[in-house]
Structure 1
Amino acid sequence: MQEAFLHYIWQFKKFDTTQLQTTRGESITLRHNGLPNLNGGPDFFNAQLQIDQQVWVGTVEIHLKSSDWYVHNHEVDAAYDNVILHVVYEHDTDIFRKDNSVIPTLELKLIIHKNVFKNYQRLLMTPHKWINCESDFADTDDFLMYNWLERLYIERLERKSNAIEAMLETTKNDWEAVLFMLLAKNFGLKVNGDAFLSMAKSFDFSMVRKLQSQPLQLEALFFGQVGVLEKDVQNGYYLSLVKEYQFIKQKFNLSNTNVIPLQFFRLRPPNFPTIRLSQLAMLYHQHPNFFTKVMAAETLEDLYALFQVGTSEFWDTHFTFEKISKGSRKLLTTNFIDLLLINTVLPLRFCFLKYQGKNPTEHNM
């Protein structure tokens, strides 16, 4: 048994509260169980209870066994001097204050509601399950399940819309710029998401508009801002990127001091940031006014078609700048596009419909 289970039992009174008695036969009347203490010290504070005719206000400490009081050295800790009740699953010894008076103890072993204890055993003490509540699925009403899932979906979109609204404020309602930042973050996945987002924020989106007709310059902008064009690499593509970035950096007075460094560790080669940045550059090269196209899409097939992009030619035979690899066209996979739709497109459409004064829950896709 876990002590956290006893905390739950005590906090929500999942035990028989009638005719409560201490282990010494004194009557207990609960007025307030107290509030959980998330810091050091006794488990609950500001508890109020009556033992026989005496009203007490103070803290409550909870253990599996009474003797755990001494195991944890509470007898020498002044923070436990004002404990008014020791709540345990099993009482095996009396506990004393410094003045040798006994701390009242409540044993829960025989008064926990049977159904609560039974559910605890079934959920947390049965091994070899996918998740603890898997056996309850068949008993869950379909209508309840679908409504719960829909509510979770809406709540997720609402949380993401808060972040989008903050981006809109910083970009003066430039929806194209917000879409770019969201896509950049999600192209970076969990490992490089923050790094890609910091790159997207390191320059004004107007630069993407100016450079997107020249894919090499767009790649140079992305690669240069994340700091991967500072190596001693001798191939024509890399040297062209360096030359383009030096020109762009000087022309637009760019800085990348606040851009988070990239990570390659524990990434599969198709998810290397070099590949994802090139794909992001090709996406914006192929689709000027991308936000308008995304909002105009009427079906999932329309959206999938928009994201049918790959890398520039160099990356067909590379995953890094230095080493040649087996040739392969590195297109965005369906699974990756699904992640972009879930984490970027759907939240943005949800927020845009709200911005237009429409009810997002009444619109499909």
Structure 2
Amino acid sequence: MQEDFLHYLWKYKKFDVGALETVKGETIQLIQVGQHNFNSGPDFFNAQLNIDHQLWAGNVEIHVKSSDWYVHNHEIDPAYDNVILHVVWEHDVDIFRKDNSEIPTLELKEIVSKTTLNGYQQLFSKSQKWINCEHDFISVDDFILQNWLERLFFERLERKSSDIEKLLDASKKDWEAVLFKLLAKNFGLKVNGDAFFSLASSIDFSIIRKIQTKGQLLESVLLGQSGVLETTVEDEYYIQLQKDYLFLKQKFGLSQQHVTAPQFFRLRPPNFPTIRLSQLAQVYVNNQNLFSKIIEAKTAQDYYDLFTVMTSEYWETHYTFKKSTKKSNKTTTHNFIDLLIINTIIPVKFSYSKISGKNYNEDLIPLINELKPEQNSIVKKFESLKPISKSALQTQGLIQLKNEYCNYKKCLQCAVGNTILNRF
């Protein structure tokens, strides 16, 4: 038995509320269950109960056993002085407040139906399943699921916003510097994201501002800090980049101490670090005050216009410095830019709205709904259970659902889990 399940039983009144009694035989009339508290302190605030014909307003604490009250030292914690009812699965000892007054106890074990218990046990059975509700997921109403996924989308943004706020503090409130780091990370995609982030973090953004109109210098700094200019290559452009980088490294005191080397292994050539870093450089060559532009932009097309770039001319005939290839324009694709919008642009706009007090959030739902559903292992598995993804909003919600709820078996805090259990 889990306390979370007992919270669920109390919150949704999954027992016969018409014949409630304390373990001492006092009648209980349930008026308000109270507000569920997910932080420290009693489990439900501001409940209203009529106990033995006396009206009470206060808090409710829930445990598996009555004795857990003493295990958690609530008898000496003033936060629990206003508890008016102790709800337990099994009553094994009387409990008292700090002033030695006894707290009424409601035991649930004998008043919860076997049907409800069987539903709970079925959902949390130990059989090997990808998610607990995989057999019932298809039966969940689309309206409930769509609303839950939208809420999860914003919940995911809140988590990302917290990370952005830390970067903002470290960057002395410089939004352009934060944007540069996040864009660099996402230009690195999954394989080189952390490496590109470490690279961007090693360069004070004031340096980028000074050289961003000079594409070759900017490219030399990015490639040099990544470590790809450290060998000897008989190539004219390579030698020039190396000279530029060594000069700028000394001038600006650049250090590679905490930079992780990017990987080429198992990457398709268009995703090679050389290509992605050249494209990132071109974004900044083409756009002064990039942060202001992304804040003002609204539609996916606005962002395609900003981030559709080619590499510098050299990379039209190269993927690495060591070998030339047939000439081709290596342009950022709409699919790639969609990932930038999902993982960088939308979180940054959400955070900026939150911190600045300016409302750009009304643009976010239309924007995310413009983008095609993402394709990854989590989304594909959910889609095999029930086709639901209409746009990137749903896929972002599904990722949050799997990573933050299903993986931790938090079914009782999930709209899907609650919908399934409420059938019993």
The two structures have a TM-score, normalised by structure 1, of: 0.66
Residues 139-172 of structure 1, C-alpha deviations (whole Å, 9 max, x = no match): 2223211221111111111111111111111111
Q: 1:152 to 1:12 in 2, by over 3 A?
A: closer
Greater relative contact order, per chain length (Cα 8 Å cut-off, separation 6+): 2
1:150-229 equivalences in 2 (<5 Å)? 150-229=150-229
Amino acid aligned to 2:313: E
Q: CA deviation at 1:326?
A: 3.2
Q: 1:285 to 1:49 in 2, by over 3 A?
A: same
1:259 corresponds to:
259
Amino acid aligned to 1:188: G
Amino acid aligned to 1:164: I
Q: Does 1:289 align with 2:283?
A: no
Q: CA deviation at 1:360?
A: 5.3
Amino acid aligned to 1:287: N
1:331 corresponds to:
331
Mapped contact 2:298–2:363 kept (Cα < 8 A): no
Q: Does 1:314 align with 2:309?
A: no
Q: Find the aligned partners of 1:171 and 1:113 in 2 and give their Cα distance.
A: 52
Amino acid aligned to 1:257: Q
Mapped contact 1:33–1:48 kept (Cα < 8 A): no
Q: Does 1:233 align with 2:233?
A: yes
1:243-254 equivalences in 2 (<5 Å)? 243-254=243-254
Q: 1:357 to 1:234 in 2, by over 3 A?
A: same
Q: 1:115 to 1:134 in 2, by over 3 A?
A: closer
Note the residue ranges of structure 2 that are not aligned, 5 or more in a row. Answer: 7-63, 69-88, 94-113, 368-424
Residue 247 of structure 2 aligns to a residue in which SS? helix
Q: 1:211 to 1:147 in 2, by over 3 A?
A: same
Amino acid aligned to 2:242: V
Note the residue ranges of structure 1 that are not aligned, 5 or more in a row. Answer: 1-7, 14-29, 35-46, 56-109
2:342 corresponds to:
342
Q: Find the aligned partners of 1:192 and 1:346 in 2 and give their Cα distance.
A: 21
Amino acid aligned to 2:142: D
Structure of larger gyration radius: 1
Mapped contact 2:160–2:347 kept (Cα < 8 A): yes
Q: Find the aligned partners of 2:220 and 2:280 in 1 and give their Cα distance.
A: 12
Amino acid aligned to 2:317: T
Mapped contact 2:275–2:311 kept (Cα < 8 A): yes
Q: CA deviation at 1:10?
A: 11
Deviates more, 1:330-339 or 1:132-141: 132-141
The two structures have a TM-score, normalised by structure 2, of: 0.57
Q: Find the aligned partners of 2:226 and 2:128 in 1 and give their Cα distance.
A: 49
1:276 corresponds to:
276
Q: Find the aligned partners of 2:342 and 2:226 in 1 and give their Cα distance.
A: 26
Q: CA deviation at 1:209?
A: 1.1
Residue 319 of structure 1 aligns to a residue in which SS? strand
Q: 1:133 to 1:296 in 2, by over 3 A?
A: same
Q: CA deviation at 1:213?
A: 1.2
Q: CA deviation at 1:346?
A: 0.2
Q: 1:135 to 1:256 in 2, by over 3 A?
A: same
Amino acid aligned to 1:238: Y
Q: 1:227 to 1:215 in 2, by over 3 A?
A: same
Q: CA deviation at 1:131?
A: 6.9
Identical aligned residues as a percent = 53
Q: 1:319 to 1:358 in 2, by over 3 A?
A: same
Q: 1:173 to 1:344 in 2, by over 3 A?
A: same
Mapped contact 1:11–1:33 kept (Cα < 8 A): no
Q: 1:10 to 1:207 in 2, by over 3 A?
A: closer
Q: 1:32 to 1:276 in 2, by over 3 A?
A: farther
Amino acid aligned to 2:298: E
Residue 255 of structure 1 aligns to a residue in which SS? coil
Amino acid aligned to 1:166: K
Q: Does 1:299 align with 2:307?
A: no
Q: CA deviation at 1:266?
A: 1.9
Residue 323 of structure 2 aligns to a residue in which SS? coil
Q: Find the aligned partners of 2:132 and 2:317 in 1 and give their Cα distance.
A: 47
2:404 corresponds to:
none
Q: CA deviation at 1:362?
A: 3.8
Q: Find the aligned partners of 1:151 and 1:166 in 2 and give their Cα distance.
A: 23
Q: 1:282 to 1:11 in 2, by over 3 A?
A: closer
Q: 1:298 to 1:319 in 2, by over 3 A?
A: same
Residue 237 of structure 2 aligns to a residue in which SS? helix
Residue 222 of structure 1 aligns to a residue in which SS? helix
Mapped contact 1:318–1:324 kept (Cα < 8 A): yes
Mapped contact 2:188–2:196 kept (Cα < 8 A): yes
Residue 158 of structure 1 aligns to a residue in which SS? helix
Mapped contact 1:317–1:328 kept (Cα < 8 A): yes
Q: 1:317 to 1:132 in 2, by over 3 A?
A: farther
Mapped contact 2:186–2:344 kept (Cα < 8 A): yes
Q: 1:11 to 1:348 in 2, by over 3 A?
A: closer
